[in-house]
Structure 1
């Protein structure tokens, strides 16, 4: 006897992380996916990549900063939606008006889809929001090894400081977007469960080889540039951050759907370890096709980079998820090999 598949509404389905979420959802054989897209062209391309899977369908949401952006889709499909994953989020640092371009849309986008879920999806069991490490971290203490972060931590930045530049604005906007979800959950006394997924820099291959382009998404572009760094290039030591593999992030969105009560009210900090550009170069130079052809820098200089930075304690997240995160070697190699394949160098 076949078990009826449950339906997941996934906003921003064409995104880097969202495509991996879709792939893993469909691979379970337990879910149907309704994904929001901004154009018919994007839907057609993604459907083709998924071999026109009958469990995958699309709705059109032009602008998530419109308060009613999701209403029509939820009016039409809400009765059959069991889960919502809200992954759609603008990501840029070129705002001319930080509040208008970054902060307000973040709040409106989160509130819009959440309120549509409450109003039109009576059978909803779990709402997962793709948040960010930016909602957790303190930008000014990340280089302080005596400072410790956990799933209970929140970015302490206030509005007046946030509007002074796009980076501050983006980090504050991620906090506001996530807090909007938690606050509305309490205000509206919702019956469904809620989780947040808070990734750091996300590396790893694109979901499909055909998605590789000359310039990649923000995180993976760091690896892409180093794959093409000339032998005599100096390695920039200013970036000292944290990484996680995109496939682990995708899985973290799906586990709450499989065990809703366990993940209710939880924030999942998706953090595997610290890295710098030298750390990445060290891995890239292990790849035969790149060894001797790209920059070397000072090998192993960043082997102990984590000891120089704030402590990220995500032991609660790891305990809840129960699987091991991919190593820097694995995620960087897989990313680089896909780039080389795209360029015909394998």
Structure 2
């Protein structure tokens, strides 16, 4: 298949080696853009450069930025670009202090925006910042049963709690708390920058729920998969027979749809400027993922059945389709209606996402999960 010719425009993706960043990178390359990416370590991008990005080698440049919080850290990377996707942010639940998590997220965002404002040039039309669904939700126990969170909702609890964590606060929850606070504080800093500096380029934000889907940059050891993909691998491989609770609201979105929302926002600055967009496809409770997977891959007896059908109902999704796995009436959810209507995006269903994720695992780790790539069955 012939590659798309260059469209003459250059975009920057920070955190290009990450799950979302790499997917955005491949999407923009396929649309004819020249890609610049940033990473803390060049080695982390090698598999992308030698794999999915290789056909576009003449349109890819990678910048190593060890400290994204430093003044003018992005000066060279932003110079002359037409659009920026700011995806890079600390995501490590074992980091548990404000200085380790929140401060770098805020300063990294401000460093990128300031560099864009001062050094990018007048051709820059749009900056799209990857935020998180956690910036719009409140804890489940504080929300009315069945509440539907939209872009109008704000997380007002994470930052004050992270600034003064009570002694009795569960230690296992401190990492996720700091992550939530980092996303909230970084978004607040972004909107304050827009208000104070009045840049010539549009600024918008994308707020994904739990991101699933096929990764372009899988780790060699599946035990090192990120927090959203590891449960899917464990279910398929039979690594776990007792399934963990879902993450947050159990709302999910396919990483490819997250990339599509980012690109639309960048390409429509006159509409997207100042807007927040939730990226959320629907409901992905652990049991729902198990049931979908066992239906799609029936020969795989390693996947324990759990309690089929428990914890979800059939329903109508944000694209007005009847789907077999949906929120019970008392379950809170993140609403993907705005992006669907404004962008005409067709959210991928849970079945599509699970199938493509498992196929990616099979291709990379072996036809049977748990089997290393290159091994054969006895």
TM-score by length of 1: 0.90
Structure 2 residue aligned with 1:226: 235
Compare 40-49 and 125-134 and name the one that shifted more: 40-49
Partner SS, residue 279 of structure 1? helix
Question: 1:179-328 maps to which residues of 2 (within 5 A)?
Answer: 179-207=188-216, 213-215=221-223, 216-229=225-238, 233-237=241-245, 239=247, 241-288=250-297, 290-304=299-313, 306=327, 307-328=329-350
Aligned-partner SS, 2:310: coil
**Stretches of structure 1 lacking an aligned partner (at least 5 in a row):** none
Matches of 1:153 and 1:198 in 2, distance apart?
Answer: 12
Contact 1:269–1:314 (CA under 8 A) maintained in structure 2: yes
What pairs up with 1:19-38 in 2 under 5 angstroms?
Answer: 19-29=22-32, 31-38=33-40
User: Hey, what does 1:55 align to over in structure 2?
Assistant: 59
Counterpart Cα distance in 1 of 2:99 and 2:331:
33
How far is 1:200 from its partner?
A: 0.7
Q: Secondary structure at the match of 2:26?
A: helix
> Residue 296 and residue 230 in structure 1: after superposition, are their counterparts in 2 closer, same or farther (change >3 A)?
farther
Per-residue CA distance 1:223-263 (angstroms, 9 max, x = gap): 011112369x3334465511100000011111122222122
Report if aligned partners of 1:40, 1:60 keep a CA contact under 8 Å in 2: yes
Distance 1:265 1:316 in 2: 14
Q: Describe the SS at the equivalent of 2:271.
A: helix
Tell me how far 1:273 sits from its aligned partner. 0.9
Note if 1:342 corresponds to 2:364.
yes
**CA drift at 1:206:** 1.2
1:84 & 1:293 partners in 2: Cα distance? 43
* Residue correspondence of structure 1 range 68-87 to structure 2 within 5 A: 68-74=72-78, 78=79, 80-87=80-87
**Residues 1:173 and 1:213: Cα distance change in structure 2 (over 3 Å):** same
Q: What secondary structure does 2:38 align onto?
A: strand
State the Cα RMSD in Å: 2.2
Alpha-carbon contact 2:204-2:272 (below 8 Å) kept: yes
Q: 1:291 to 1:141 in 2, by over 3 A?
A: same
Relative to structure 1, the CA distance from residue 329 to residue 129 in structure 2 (aligned partners, 3 Å threshold; closer, same or farther) is same
Per-residue CA distance 1:298-327 (angstroms, 9 max, x = gap): 111133261232243332221112021000
Provide the TM-score with structure 2 as the length reference.
0.83
1:332 is paired with a residue of what secondary structure? helix
| Distance 1:229-1:308 versus aligned 2 partners, 3 A rule | farther
Q: Deviations over 1:116-145 (max 9, x none)?
A: 000101221000001000111112447642
Structure 2 gaps of 5+ residues are: 166-173, 314-325, 369-378
Cα distance change, pair 342–314 in 1 and its aligned pair in 2 (3 A)? closer
> Once the 2 structures are TM-superposed, how far is the Cα of residue 59 of structure 1 from its aligned partner?
1.2
2:146–2:330 Cα contact (<8 Å) kept = no
Count of paired positions: 337
Structure 1 residue 170, shift from structure 2 partner: 1.2
Give the secondary structure class of the aligned counterpart of 2:138. coil
Structure 2 distance, partners of 1:159, 1:267, is 19
* CA pair 222-234 structure 1, distance change in 2 beyond 3 A: closer
8 Å CA contact 1:244–1:270 kept in 2: the answer is yes
2:284 aligns to what SS in structure 1?
strand
2:177 alignment partner in structure 1: 168
| CA 142–63 in structure 1, closer or farther in 2 if over 3 Å, else same | farther
Shift of 1:205: 0.7
Further displaced range: 52-61 or 185-194: 52-61
Deviation at residue 297 of structure 1 after TM alignment: 1.0
8 Å CA contact 2:339, 2:345 repeated in 1: no
The 2-side partners of 1:336 and 1:139 are apart by: 31
